Amino acid sequence: MTAVMPPPASACPACSAAPAAEALAAAQEPSEAHIILSLPTIHCAACMSAVESALMKSDTVRSARVNLTMKRVSIEADPDLTAADVIPLVEAAGYEAHELDSTALSATQTDRAGRELLMRLAVAGFASMNVMLLSVAVWSGAEGPTRDMFHWISAAIVLPSVAFAAQPFFKNAWTALKAGHLNMDVPISLAILLALVTSLWETSLSGEHAYFDAAIALTFFLLTGRYLDHRTRSVARSAAEELAALEVPRAWRVTEDGEEQVNVAELQVGDLLRVRPGGRMPVDGEISEGTSELDRSLLTGETLPVFAEPGLSVSAGEVNLTGPLTIRATAVGRDTSLHRMADLVSIAESGRSRYTSLADKAAKLYAPGVHILSALAFIGWYLYSGDLRVALNIAAAVLIITCPCALGLAVPAVTTAASGRLFKRGLLIKDATALERLAQIDTVVFDKTGTLTAGTPEVSNIDDFTRRDLEITLALASGSSHPLSQSLTAAIQGAGISAAEVTDIQEVPGHGTQGRWNGQLVRLGRAAWVDGPSLALTSTCLRVGDGPVQAFTFTDRLRDGAEEAVRALQEGGHKVILMSGDTTPAVEALANRLGIEQWLAEALPQDKAARIQALTDQGAKVLMVGDGLNDTAALTAAHASISPASALDAARVASDIVLLGGELDPIPEAITTAQKATRRIRENFTIATWYNIIAVPLAIAGLCSPLIAALAMSSSSLTVSLNALRLR
């Protein structure tokens, strides 16, 4: 067995937050400026590279990282640099930039952008339907004035529709050209404009063919993809908002004059803070006074409370459960554990956003090639025939016959079929490239509590106790909100046992519950508190008077299908690893039970993310399966990720796939389906490629009229769609 131990604290720069914060406080002067700009017009990997390159050309900028998902750039620069100084650098590269404020990424703004895209999509769709009806009339044999009338009506519909609906493509293309570089919107805009110009030329000369329907249909399909991409990114942005919502805005600071409520931004390292029961830790620190129990599920994912006493380190975001605590701040602001977790997610999202779908990779070569061929055909035929009209018609025929409809359908048709199949098995695909990445997986990392297990403790030895002891236990457990006490209460009541008459019941913060039964002191709680031996297993102890200490032991029930999923993955040649924030004995026991050889215990969020990154650096393609907020950074950093529907919002948002049911056994099937889907996508690309190899020379040679080109294009799209349906 190989036990993978957590990396030492010194190995991770993020783990040295406290010393860094103390040094910063001592200096009393920032060593660098941290500037965040909103970039509303970026939309691809080329945009990211262009912005980062433009910023790094400045000697005053030390680093620049663009997050495409959140459409922002994070800049580390010289202390005296301001947002007003760097915004012109971004604008010179051809992109809009604004200093980020809290409302820039609000739901209202997100919804407004979505509504605008949806409105343009609706206009393009309505116009496309009407123009298609007119085109059918022309193709059916309309001639002379009747044909010309239909063409002019089509022009009247399409021109204003394209002018409104295709604005996102035109604006981005124009901005890129002004900055002196190309992006994917440039060839898209060229295709739309050339189709319109050619159609107007043909119509003005009473020609037989016009391509208004192609121009508006292309706009409609491209807007559909842009809107779906927007919806995906707007959901992804809420992962950071979910983390930010957990930050405590105000805290109670202890001074010589008493307690005062202050803004968390005013706190400094060394301040004493009072955290009342039920309150969340505002900063990282160390307990200086008081005993209690802490809910650390935010950072570790484990639901069982931890005993808190003076000297124990606490982290921002943890919840104080039972007694008041006084803590001394060791890290504040951006150096707290909660803020570092948000940074981990943001960095991972920046990396994830660089993934490019197979369709996008093909389009980078395909689209420029199409337009080069069309331009060469126009020049060649114009030089050969001297007839501008003939040259335009053949160039248009090349554009139509090479219309990327087949290429555009190659991925959506397959992903739709695959997503439908997986949805029936309880898996919801969220990300456009998730299937392609899932097909490459060779390593699967599971979280423990809430993922492989149900996350709720269950009493395992209730039959070892007498009815009297169970009656006393029920009386004591009923007065506590501790998860183990709640589990005991449910189990004993389920056995039909009533509570004994126990008086003077009180809960001792951080220890347990005590009372009096028949004049004897009875206690239920930690082993050390009742003078019992400590156990490796999760347990709580009962002692009646001076009698022997008896321990209730608990186990965490496996999630349905967990054993089957792990076995199927291992038989399929995948490496399976268990990572958890739980104690070493608990993680080791589960790993042995499931036959998992590699495991990591007592892991914090940065430990999980670091382990995922280490595996990635070794060449592994990692699938992370987790449900907690502490898994968010790891989920985002992994090559692909899955979260149960019961997971926290931030975890579900960060993952690529949501497991709708309660069973894990669909996961191996999802990988198999993704591999089949990727094969179908490659087959579709092959079909589209051979179609163009055959059709393009015919169009360039002038042997295909625009009508024949349109029919050939439709047949290639139909072939691609039928091939995708084979996946079902």
Active site residues: 447
Residue 234 vs residues 111, 526, 723: alpha-carbon distances, Å:
9, 46, 32
Are 523 and 513 spatial neighbours (Cβ–Cβ below 8 Å)? yes
SS3 at position 79: coil
Strands (E), 157-279: 250-255, 258-263, 272-275
Amino acid at 496: G
Residues 56 and 64: their CA atoms lie apart, in Å, by 7
Residues 717 and 722: their CA atoms lie apart, in Å, by 9
CA dihedral 483, 484, 487, 493 (to 10 degrees): -120
Q: What is the side-by-side strand order in the sheet with 98-99?
A: 61-67, 72-77, 33-38, 98-99
Phi first, then psi, for residue 458 (nearest 5°) are -125, 135
Sign of CA dihedral 717, 718, 720, 724: positive
Q: What is the DSSP string of 22-73?
A: HHHHHH-S-SSEEEEEE-TT--SHHHHHHHHHHHHTSTTEEEEEEETTTTEE
**CA-based nearest residue to 669, from 727, 595, 598, 594:** 727
CA dihedral 607, 612, 614, 615 (to 10 degrees): 140
Are 653 and 643 spatial neighbours (Cβ–Cβ below 8 Å)? no
The two three-digit tokens of residue 405, written as one number: 């409809």
Side-chain-side CA neighbours of residue 368 (13 Å): 8
**CA-based nearest residue to 301, from 601, 659, 691:** 601
Strands (E), 436-594: 443-447, 453-459, 503-508, 512-517, 520-525, 539-544, 550-558, 575-579
Sign of CA dihedral 711, 717, 719, 725: negative
The two three-digit tokens of residue 703, written as one number: 């042997």
SS3 at position 19: helix
Are 553 and 538 spatial neighbours (Cβ–Cβ below 8 Å)? yes
Residues 425 and 427: their CA atoms lie apart, in Å, by 6
Q: What is the DSSP string of 146-192?
A: HHHHHHHHHHHHHHHHHHHHTHHHHHHHHHHHHTT---THHHHHHHH
**CA-based nearest residue to 45, from 345, 356, 347:** 356
Residue 397 vs residues 198, 293, 390: alpha-carbon distances, Å:
10, 74, 11
Residue 268 vs residues 51, 90, 262, 310, 437: alpha-carbon distances, Å:
35, 35, 11, 20, 44
Q: Which residues pair with 644 in a beta bridge?
A: 659
Residue that has been written with the tokens 């982290």 in this structure: 315
Are 460 and 557 spatial neighbours (Cβ–Cβ below 8 Å)? no
Sign of CA dihedral 168, 214, 229, 177: negative
